[in-house]
Structure 1
Amino acid sequence: MTHIDHLKSICKLEGIQVVDVGAGDGVYSRDLYAAGAKVTAIEIDPDKVAKAKEDLPRHIDVRLGAAEDLPLDSGSQDLACLFFSLHHIPVEVQHTAFTEIRRVLGSSGRLHIVEPYPYGTMFYVVRLVEDETLVRTHSHETLNHLDGVDGFRLENKKEYVLTREYPTFEAFLEKIVWPDPDRSRAYEKVSSDMEDAFNRSVETLDGKIVLHQPCAAYHFIVSC
Structure 2
Amino acid sequence: MNTEAAAVDQLPLIDQEHTLLESLVPLPPGTGLVEAGCGNARLLRQLMQQHPGLRCAALEVDRIQLARNLTEPAPPGLQFIEAGAAAMPLADGWADGVLMLKSLHHVPLHELDAALDEVARVLRPGGWFYVSEPIYDGALNELIRLFNDEGVVRAEAQAALDRALARGRFCAVSEHRFAQAVAYPDFDSFEQRMMRPSFADHRLTPELIAAVRQRFEPHCGPQGARFVRPMHVRLLRRC
Taking structure 2 as the reference length, the TM-score comes to: 0.84
Structure 1 vs Structure 2: percent identity of aligned residues?
22
Measured in 1, the distance between the counterparts of 2:221 and 2:96 equals: 39
Aligned to 1:65: 83
Match of 2:34 in 1: 19
Q: Describe the superposition over 1:41-98 as per-residue Cα deviations: whole angstroms up to 9, x where unpaired.
A: 0011222211111125243200001111101111111000000001011121111111
Q: 1:46 to 1:150 in 2, by over 3 A?
A: farther
Check conservation: 2:116, 2:161, Cα contact below 8 A: no
Aligned residue identity for 1:163: A
Write the letter of the residue equivalent to 2:64: D
Paired with 2:91 and 2:194, the residues of 1 have a C-alpha distance of: 34
| One-letter identity of the residue aligned with 2:201 | D
Superposed CA deviations along residues 189-220 of structure 1, whole A, max 9, x for unmatched, are 3122111221234678xx67411211100000
Out of 213, 217, 220, the position equivalent to 1:195 is 213
Could you tell me whether the CA contact under 8 Å between 1:24 and 1:43 is conserved in 2? Answer: yes
What's the offset of the Cα at 1:141?
A: 3.0
SS at match of 1:74: coil
**CA separation in 2, counterparts of 1:168 and 1:189?**
19
Partner of 1:186: 204
Aligned to 1:220: 236
For residue 221 of structure 1, report the CA deviation from its aligned partner. 1.1
Write the distance in 1 (CA, Å) between the matches of 2:20 and 2:220.
25
CA 1:47–1:208 in structure 2 vs 1: closer, same or farther (change >3 Å)?
Answer: closer
Matches within 5 A, 1:111-190: 111-144=129-162, 146-180=164-198, 182-183=201-202, 185-190=203-208
Unaligned runs of 5+ in 1: none
Structure 2, unaligned runs of 5 or more: 1-13
Secondary structure in structure 2 of the residue aligned to 1:182: coil
Please state if 1:50 is matched with 2:63: no
| One-letter amino acid of the structure 1 residue matched with residue 34 of structure 2 | V
1:3 is the counterpart of 2:17: yes
Q: Please list, as runs of the form range in 1=range in 2, the aligned pairs for 1:59-98 lying within 5 A after superposition.
A: 59=76, 60-98=78-116
Q: 1:38 matched to which residue of 2?
A: 55
**1: distance between equivalents of 2:185 and 2:229?**
17
Distance 1:93 1:81, change over 3 A: same
| RMSD (Å), alpha carbons | 2.1
Q: Distance in 1 between matches of 2:96 and 2:208?
A: 44
- 1:103 is the counterpart of 2:121: yes
Compute the displacement of 1:145 (Å): 5.0
Query: Measured at CA, do residues 56 and 83 of structure 1 come closer, stay the same or move farther in structure 2, by a change above 3 Å?
Result: farther
Counterpart of 2:104, as a letter, is L
Higher RCO, 1 vs 2 (CA within 8 Å, ≥6 residues apart): 2
What CA distance in whole angstroms lies between the structure 2 residues aligned with 1:13 and 1:177?
A: 35
Aligned residues: 220
Q: What is the TM-score of this pair, normalised by structure 1?
A: 0.89
Distance 1:154 1:112, change over 3 A: same
CA contact (8 A) 1:125 1:201 kept: no
